[in-house]
C-alpha cells in the first residue's frame, strides 16, 4: 500500500512540475510591423560614411580609455590655406549651439558637427540625418566663462575622399 501511495505522489509531482514549466513559458509573437533587430541601424551608421563611422568609433574607444570627462566631441570640416581639406575631432566641455549644424548621441556623448556645408565634406556626413533640435542634457556655450583655459584632445585628418581620410595628428591641440 505504501508503494502505491509513493508512486501516486511521484506521478503527481512529475505532472505538476511539467505543468508549471508550461505555464511559466512565455510565448511572444512579434507583429510584422515591428522592425527586426537586423533592420535597425543607429543614426551614426546612417549619417556617416563607413570610413568616418569606423574612425569615430575608434576615437570614442580611445577617448573612453583615457577617462576624459568631457561629454561633447566636436567634428568639424575646414580648408587649410594650401587647399587641403581637414576633418577635426576634438573633445570639448560644451557645444556651441549657435554654430552646431547637427548632432547625435553615441555612448553617452554628444557628437556635434560644425561646418558640414564645407566643400571638404565630400559625402562623409549626411546633414539631413542629424538631429538639430536644441538639447538640454549637455552644456552649451553659456558655460564658456567658467574655463580659464582648456586644451582639447583630438585628431586631425586630411580628407582625400569619402572613402579615404588620413590621420595627420593625434594629441592635445
Instruction: State the DSSP code for 71.
Output: -
Convert the pLDDT of each residue in 20-68 to its tens digit.
444 443 333 333 333 333 333 588 899 999 999 999 999 999 988 988 8
Residue 79 pairs in a beta bridge with 85
Look-up of cell digits 511572444: 28
Q: Is 87 exposed, middle or buried (0-12, 13-18, 19+ CB in 10 A)?
A: buried
- Read off the pTM: 0.73
Convert the pLDDT of each residue in 65-124 to its tens digit.
988 888 899 999 999 989 999 999 999 988 999 999 999 998 889 999 999 999 999 999
Amino acid at each position: 500500500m505504501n508503494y502505491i501511495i509513493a508512486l501516486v505522489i511521484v506521478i503527481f509531482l512529475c505532472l505538476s512540475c511539467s505543468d508549471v514549466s508550461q505555464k511559466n513559458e512565455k510565448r511572444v509573437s512579434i507583429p510584422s510591423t515591428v522592425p527586426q533587430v537586423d533592420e535597425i541601424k543607429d543614426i551614426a551608421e546612417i549619417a556617416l560614411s563607413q570610413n568616418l563611422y569606423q574612425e569615430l568609433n575608434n576615437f570614442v574607444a580611445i577617448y573612453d580609455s583615457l577617462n576624459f570627462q568631457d561629454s561633447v566631441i566636436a567634428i568639424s570640416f575646414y580648408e587649410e590655406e594650401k587647399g587641403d581639406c581637414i576633418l577635426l575631432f576634438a573633445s570639448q566641455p560644451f557645444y556651441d549651439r549657435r554654430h552646431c549644424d547637427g548632432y547625435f548621441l553615441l555612448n553617452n556623448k554628444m557628437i556635434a558637427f560644425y561646418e558640414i556645408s564645407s566643400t571638404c565634406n565630400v559625402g562623409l556626413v549626411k546633414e539631413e540625418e542629424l538631429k538639430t533640435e536644441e538639447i538640454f542634457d549637455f552644456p552649451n556655450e553659456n558655460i564658456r566663462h567658467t574655463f580659464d583655459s582648456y586644451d582639447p584632445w583630438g585628431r586631425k585628418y586630411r580628407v582625400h575622399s569619402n572613402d579615404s581620410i588620413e590621420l595627420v595628428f593625434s594629441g592635445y591641440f
